[in-house]
Structure 1
Amino acid sequence: MKHILALALTGLLGVLPAFSNEKEEELVRLAVLELEQDNATPMQASSVSKALREELTKTGMYYVLSAADMNTRLNAAQQSIPAECHTEQCALDAGQTFAVSKVVVGELGFDEKVYILRLKMFDLESRDFESKVTIAAECIPAKLPELARAGVLQLLGLEVKDVSLQLIKYKGKEVNNKKEWFLAAGLTTAAAFIWGAASGAFSPSGEKNSAISEVADYDMGTVSRQHGAFADLSYSARAHGMGGAFIALSDDANAMVYNPAGMVRVKGRTFTAGYMHYTYGSGSLPYVYSGYVNKVTRTVSAGQALITSSGSGIGSNETQVITSVAKVFDDLSERLRPISVGVNVKFLMMTANKAEDSIYAWQDFAVSGGGFGASVDLGAQFELSERITAALLIRDIAGTVKYRNVSTGKDYNEGVPMSVLIGGHYRVLNSLNLVLDGNKSIYLDTEDHVGLGMEKWLFDALALRLGMSQYFSMNSHRRYHAGLGLDVRMKTMSIGVDYSYEYFPLEESAYMDLSGSQRFALNCKF
């Protein structure tokens, strides 16, 4: 009898491993990466990562790799997982290394007395995050395993139960930089008036030219008809490399020029300084651009920008001083995704004189004078999905410039031509941005145009950009754009550089051959 029982027990033990292996093969293989920390300790993040693996295993739906199994595979492949792994590409690479079907990435944060757990589950077959969740609770560290349980249940779309924690709605860290905003906006406004006075835009000097009356119909017959005055020249090297299409993607210190609503997507303080030039004849028309954006509150951002040119060769100098504010509405309803709205207030200044470049010989009749005024832009961004954003910008919705023509002795006001832009942005795997902008001019003396482009990020550090833009007129040429970007990230800040090149042949024009125009920019986030 003992022998029979021993044989039966031996057979049962032999069957159990096989049954266990078959059971594991039926489960979905899943890896939980170590959570990132945002003001939480590494020990707390590690304990929550372990609790997540345990809770996912308890569901009976997944075969969850242990931390030891993951380290073994990483050592065998001689690879490592980045400290910050929250993009689709990083999750995809991790999933392929661990030979799993799904990957969970996330972050454990701590804000005063509140712990915040952010989780995302990536599916390798669809190559997309199939579910995301953010939960928060005011609790002690000993209760973090319960927070992990609640996070798993919500991530799987299940009812949260057997959890003693009181979950709260957390939207982000509170920020209060109102004093900085008021000071910056006040100084920007004051600087605009000081610049206008110093440059002669307020009260230009010169003598009356009686010959001007003979050529009143010439382009240069009035101060306001200076070539390219306050035109959209795509100042940002990053946006210019994508054909100037940026109003739906704007998420950096260039947002004021393209779409102020995008400022709310900027995290922390961001500064940019850029240089661009257009070639004409034997000279060039240089522009300098700088911009700064910072959070005012959790939902409000503000920025200031300066654009100025030095075009003595072509006969004019122009300056724009911009102050901006934007707000995101992220709690309108549970079904409605965030909508952001932004406003630019632009101070416009220009001085005009006879061109120094001999190619403009006809400018013997050019006027001298100056102008000062203001204009307003209104922009919006609509988040349609995790990947798609639509945008609307009404540029110069209200604006006027008062000109003083020294050559003719006349003063007059002119409005700034309004235009409407509609744009879209589609994000592919977090490393590829596709953008499209369409500009509809309201006035007959301005042109409609379209721009489209792409931005591909490699290793989260190097960006490759291509674009095309087209003005819709009888004599316009198609423009081709290309650009590069490099972003170096450190613990507390990042520094980046951008470069772009535009190929725009104008074979029939001796005055303005824009082929080879370039832009350079230095960016800093801190």
Structure 2
Amino acid sequence: MKIISLSIILLFFIGGWSVISPGEAADYPHVTESGFTTLPASTRAMGMGGSFVAVADDYGASTFNPAGLVQLTQKEVGAMYSDLYGLGLLAYNFLFWVVPPTIMGAGGISWAHLSSNLEPERWDYDMFSYSYGQSISPSKSSSRRTISSWGVNLKYLKQTSPWGASSGYSMDLAYFMRKEKVSCGINVQDLVSVRQWSTGRRESIPMNVKIGTAYRFSPYLLVALDVDISGTDFLRDARLGGEWWITPSFALRGGMSTLFQKDPFLTLCGGIGFDFPLEDLRKKGGVKFDYAFAYNQALGNTHQFSLSLRF
């Protein structure tokens, strides 16, 4: 039963797997694209259906749009965990540390780990990232309501599987623009990439482009829309979501996403967020807890949690 469940997950979720048969370049089958480099790592974003490219105002910017890091006002450190599809087969962990902009720009480091445990076989994927964002030009408004920035992700990749091991690197290039109520963003993921397998095979990771826009009705309410474009599927998926801070300490989120494939399917998402302020004599900070839930009829339910400290 676990084998059947894992097969469904690998087919629909990780998507775009290319398998080389034993008669080709390798001596055994192996995966040429895991989709791991584009796997988002933000519980807040998941609660909004994954629409976050044009929001990108917290640690989630490090994976969705590094150009958005210039919006940070405090340092943030924390962790995220998710048991994908609730089967105990795919565990996703994410550790992060991001810092607000200085004259040198904003930045962050992160580690993402995806593992599948199907005895006696096991897959492990690791991604170590450095994220950087820099304003293109200083805002001419004293209220700083206009933001224009660029960003980059530099990623080191490592993978082990029953078919072999690989390592390599990848780079994302991003842009972000925000005015008082409207913002937009684009993130070209895996623009440059290379991966070397233990068999000697070298390959690149297919490029994925995330484009998004967001509208803020007020500082407490926003809606966002993202689309993904890839070389194999011009319009790969679309994501729509929103966030409402009912009080300064409690938020409700909701959204949906759909994949445009031969057999498209819909994922419904929801989430909550808590922001507990902490204050001392020198500065303000806070503890954030986020929870998100995603329902997909074909794949099952996913619960995701994150905890972070701002200081």
TM-score range, shorter chain: 0.7 to 0.9
1:20-59 aligned at under 5 Å gives the runs none
- CA deviations 1:135-190 (Å, max 9, x no partner) are xxxxxxxxxxxxxxxxxxxxxxxxxxxxxxxxxxxxxxxxxxxxxxxxxxxxxxxx
The answer as to whether partners of 1:342 and 1:379 remain within 8 angstroms in 2 is: yes
Query: 2:15 is matched with which residue?
Result: none
Q: Does 1:245 align with 2:245?
A: no
Cα deviation, residue 309, structure 1: 1.9
Counterpart residue type for residue 414 of structure 1: E
Query: 1:433 is matched with which residue?
Result: 222
1:318 aligned to which of 125, 142, 145: 125
- Looking at structure 2, the residues matched to 238 and 332 of structure 1 have their Cα atoms a distance apart, in angstroms, of 28
The answer as to whether partners of 1:466 and 1:481 remain within 8 angstroms in 2 is: yes
The answer as to whether partners of 2:21 and 2:29 remain within 8 angstroms in 1 is: no
Cα deviation, residue 411, structure 1: 1.5
2:66 aligned to which of 257, 260, 285: 260
SS state at 2:70 partner: helix
1:417-456 aligned at under 5 Å gives the runs 417-443=206-232, 448-456=236-244
Cα deviation, residue 224, structure 1: 2.8
Cα deviation, residue 481, structure 1: 0.5
Q: Larger % of helix: which?
A: 1
1:342 aligned to which of 148, 151, 172: 151
Q: Does 1:499 align with 2:284?
A: no
1:388-403 aligned at under 5 Å gives the runs 388-403=182-197
Q: Which runs of 5+ in 1 are unaligned?
A: 1-212, 354-367, 405-409, 507-512
- Looking at structure 2, the residues matched to 428 and 414 of structure 1 have their Cα atoms a distance apart, in angstroms, of 45
- Looking at structure 1, the residues matched to 180 and 81 of structure 2 have their Cα atoms a distance apart, in angstroms, of 34
The answer as to whether partners of 1:254 and 1:291 remain within 8 angstroms in 2 is: no
Cα deviation, residue 331, structure 1: 2.8
Q: Larger % of strand: which?
A: 2
The answer as to whether partners of 1:348 and 1:374 remain within 8 angstroms in 2 is: yes
Counterpart residue type for residue 171 of structure 2: V
Cα deviation, residue 216, structure 1: 5.0
1:306 aligned to which of 94, 106, 111: 111
Query: 1:90 is matched with which residue?
Result: none
Percent of paired sites with the same residue: 27
The answer as to whether partners of 2:70 and 2:101 remain within 8 angstroms in 1 is: no
Structure 1 338/221 Cα, relative in aligned 2: closer, same or farther at 3 Å?
same
1:157-168 aligned at under 5 Å gives the runs none
- CA deviations 1:226-261 (Å, max 9, x no partner) are 7x4425333211000111110110111121111101
- CA deviations 1:273-295 (Å, max 9, x no partner) are 10012237x54210100111113
Paired residue total: 283
- Looking at structure 1, the residues matched to 73 and 21 of structure 2 have their Cα atoms a distance apart, in angstroms, of 56
- Looking at structure 1, the residues matched to 140 and 245 of structure 2 have their Cα atoms a distance apart, in angstroms, of 33
Counterpart residue type for residue 212 of structure 2: G
- Looking at structure 2, the residues matched to 380 and 278 of structure 1 have their Cα atoms a distance apart, in angstroms, of 29
Counterpart residue type for residue 255 of structure 1: A
- CA deviations 1:433-474 (Å, max 9, x no partner) are 111101111235x97111010000011111101010011011
- Looking at structure 2, the residues matched to 256 and 382 of structure 1 have their Cα atoms a distance apart, in angstroms, of 16
Q: Does 1:411 align with 2:200?
A: yes
The answer as to whether partners of 1:447 and 1:473 remain within 8 angstroms in 2 is: no
RMSD: 2.5
SS state at 1:264 partner: helix
The answer as to whether partners of 1:276 and 1:520 remain within 8 angstroms in 2 is: yes
Q: Does 1:520 align with 2:305?
A: yes
Counterpart residue type for residue 523 of structure 1: S
Counterpart residue type for residue 176 of structure 2: Q
Counterpart residue type for residue 495 of structure 1: V
TM score, norm. by length of structure 1: 0.51
Q: Which runs of 5+ in 2 are unaligned?
A: 1-19
Structure 1 411/222 Cα, relative in aligned 2: closer, same or farther at 3 Å?
farther
Counterpart residue type for residue 102 of structure 2: T
- Looking at structure 1, the residues matched to 129 and 305 of structure 2 have their Cα atoms a distance apart, in angstroms, of 20
The answer as to whether partners of 1:294 and 1:302 remain within 8 angstroms in 2 is: yes
Q: Does 1:382 align with 2:177?
A: yes
- Structure 1 outlier segments of 4+, above 4 Å: 213-217
- Looking at structure 2, the residues matched to 272 and 454 of structure 1 have their Cα atoms a distance apart, in angstroms, of 23
Cα deviation, residue 310, structure 1: 2.3
2:246 aligned to which of 458, 465, 490: 458
SS state at 1:312 partner: strand
Query: 2:260 is matched with which residue?
Result: 472
SS state at 2:138 partner: coil
